[in-house]
């Protein structure tokens, strides 16, 4: 129970900041401006999802193993590898922005390259810090790092808009200030916690393990990005900026339910699941871990769906005091957008089973199939009509859950 207090406080803080951010955004921005900004935000996680994904997963999986004897040296290793990954991050962000510019022919996408690199590097460092602190079960520290990053990322761009006027450059300026503050705070934290490089044998062992994580989790990031962000780009591609903004705001509002729920459950569950995995010695032990993942997934699905149904019923009553009237058309989209967010999180607990077996390559295969089915379904539905697109979002969570469970159990336990 003591462990749950900071976790619940962190999620409560996330809820308050999310609500305040939505309230301010709906009053300060038009749906069209919010739509473009929402697309920009989908590119601020490229570092943690792609170039730094292997390092992050190595950290959360191996910290408990290394903390007792190699903790400071391992932190120095993480800091060095984070810095080395900035080069590939610059290349990735540049290629993505050039591709969007070739599609849209808007100079804005070329101008934001330096800002996106800075924001991605800071958020990747923040993700590493949260992962290590959570693996160490220092939940109040996780609250501090995550809460500070969320607060500055959400409110600083809107504060600049309130001061400078509603525009994309104002939002980008606020994001830049957020990245500078977060980066400086994390550099100070790393300098305090990290120690000497450690024994050469340890450094060589970590460096030898890392490429396997990098290969697997880079491609896992492709699936993760498609699940989290592809729908917004599909709405933009098949419809218009206004609908993109409305769908993005509905996604931000409805996404609070599954994101908070998954955050609480994962933060409290994954150290325990990994300890069970480290102790597993026979097939029955792995089946016990799988049953635990079944229970976690069932609780998540049922609770998230009940929460979204309640939120959808309340939606019309939120216009005026929470959401500005110009975004009133987003309220009927809450259920569909929320179920799409559930599909992103629904297999997270089963992925712990494969992570416990250190089988990242199987996670790649599962994520690729699930993300491919989800994204292809969204694209085909969007080709038909807006109503079909929304209908597919409502059923996608069930499809993703069933497909992911089948594939993961087959991979981990040899069962269909």
Question: pLDDT digit string (tens) for 396-410?
Answer: 999 999 998 888 888
Q: Taking the model in full, what pTM does it have?
A: 0.86
Buried b (16+ CB within 10 A) or exposed e, 102-116: eeeeeeebeebbebb
Q: How many CA atoms lie within 13 A of 394 on its CB side?
A: 13
**Is 164 a member of any domain?**
no
**Is 310 a member of any domain?**
yes
Query: Could you tell me the pLDDT band of residue 48, with boundaries at 50, 70 and 90?
Result: very high
Q: How far is CA 338 from CA 285, 289, 312, 341, in A?
A: 35, 28, 9, 5
The counts of H helices and E strands in the chain are 16, 0
Return the DSSP state at 416.
-
pLDDT number for residue 271 = 65
**Is 262 a member of any domain?**
yes
Instruction: Quote the domain boundaries for residue 296.
Output: 230-416
Taking residues 43-60, what's their average pLDDT? 91
What are the pLDDT digits (tens) for 274-314?
A: 777 666 667 777 777 778 888 888 899 999 999 999 999 99
> How many independent structural domains does the chain possess?
1
Residue 29 pLDDT greater than 50, yes or no: yes
pLDDT number for residue 281 = 64
Judged by DSSP in three states, 52 sits in coil
Query: Could you tell me the pLDDT band of residue 416, with boundaries at 50, 70 and 90?
Result: very low
**Is 103 a member of any domain?**
no
* CB proximity list for 105: less than 8 A, separation 6 or greater: none
**Percent of the chain whose pLDDT exceeds 70:** 93
- Sign of the alpha-carbon torsion through 220, 264, 412, 214: positive
**Percent of the chain whose pLDDT exceeds 90:** 53
Tokens representing 299? 């609780």
Taking residues 316-343, what's their average pLDDT? 92
Residue 391 pLDDT greater than 90, yes or no: yes
CB 393 within 8 A of CB 375: no
Cα distance between residue 261 and residue 15, in whole Å? 11
**Is 205 a member of any domain?**
no
pLDDT number for residue 198 = 63
**Is 142 a member of any domain?**
no
Residue 272 pLDDT greater than 80, yes or no: no
Query: Could you tell me the pLDDT band of residue 219, with boundaries at 50, 70 and 90?
Result: confident
User: What residues form DSSP beta bridges with 323?
Assistant: 319
Query: Could you tell me the pLDDT band of residue 21, with boundaries at 50, 70 and 90?
Result: very high
Tell me which residue of 403, 257, 260 sits closest to 339, measured CA to CA. 257
Instruction: Flag the least confident range among 14-18, 121-125, 135-139.
Output: 135-139
pLDDT number for residue 270 = 66
Residue 415 pLDDT greater than 60, yes or no: no
What are the pLDDT digits (tens) for 133-179?
A: 888 878 888 889 999 999 999 999 999 999 999 999 999 999 999 99
**Is 324 a member of any domain?**
yes
Q: How far is CA 28 from the centre of its chain?
A: 25
pLDDT number for residue 280 = 67
pLDDT number for residue 290 = 78
pLDDT number for residue 278 = 65
Residue 193 pLDDT greater than 90, yes or no: no
More confident residue, 283 or 248: 248
What are the pLDDT digits (tens) for 62-111?
A: 887 787 777 788 888 888 899 999 999 999 999 999 999 999 989 999 99
């Amino acid at each position: 129970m003591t462990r749950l207090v900071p976790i619940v406080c962190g999620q409560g803080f996330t809820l308050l900041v999310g609500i305040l951010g939505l309230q301010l955004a709906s009053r300060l921005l038009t749906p069209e401006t919010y739509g473009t900004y929402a697309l920009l935000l989908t590119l601020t996680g490229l570092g943690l999802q792609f170039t730094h994904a292997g390092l992050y997963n190595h950290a959360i999986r191996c910290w408990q193993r290394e903390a007792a004897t190699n903790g400071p040296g391992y932190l120095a290793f993480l800091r060095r590898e984070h810095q080395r990954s900035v080069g590939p991050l610059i290349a990735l962000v540049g290629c993505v922005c050039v591709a969007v510019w070739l599609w849209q022919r808007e100079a804005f996408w070329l101008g934001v390259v330096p800002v996106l690199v800075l924001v991605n590097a800071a958020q990747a460092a923040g993700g590493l810090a949260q992962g290590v602190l959570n693996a160490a079960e220092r939940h109040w520290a996780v609250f501090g790092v995550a809460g500070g990053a969320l607060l500055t990322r959400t409110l600083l761009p809107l504060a600049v808009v309130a001061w400078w006027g509603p525009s994309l450059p104002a939002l980008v300026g606020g994001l830049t200030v957020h990245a500078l503050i977060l980066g400086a705070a994390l550099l100070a934290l790393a300098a305090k916690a990290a120690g000497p490089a450690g024994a050469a044998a340890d450094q060589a062992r970590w460096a030898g393990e890392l490429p396997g994580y990098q290969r697997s989790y880079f491609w896992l990031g492709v699936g993760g990005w498609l699940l989290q962000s592809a729908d917004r780009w599909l709405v933009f591609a098949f419809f218009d900026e206004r609908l993109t903004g409305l769908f993005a705001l509905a996604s931000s509002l409805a996404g609070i339910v599954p994101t908070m729920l998954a955050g609480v459950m994962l933060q409290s569950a994954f150290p325990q699941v990994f300890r069970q995995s480290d102790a597993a010695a026979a097939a029955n032990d792995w089946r016990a871990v799988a049953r635990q993942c079944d229970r976690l997934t069932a609780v998540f699905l049922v609770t998230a769906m009940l929460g979204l149904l309640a939120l959808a019923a309340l939606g019309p009553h939120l216009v005026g005091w929470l959401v500005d009237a110009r975004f009133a058309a987003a309220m009927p989209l809450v259920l569909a957008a929320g179920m799409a967010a559930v599909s992103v999180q629904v297999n997270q607990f089963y992925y712990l089973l494969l992570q416990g077996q250190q089988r990242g390559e199987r996670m790649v295969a599962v994520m690729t199939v699930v993300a491919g089915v989800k994204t292809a379904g969204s694209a085909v539905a969007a080709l038909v009509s807006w109503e079909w697109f929304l209908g597919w979002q409502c059923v996608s969570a069930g499809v993703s859950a069933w497909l992911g469970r089948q594939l993961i159990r087959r991979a981990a336990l040899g069962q269909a």
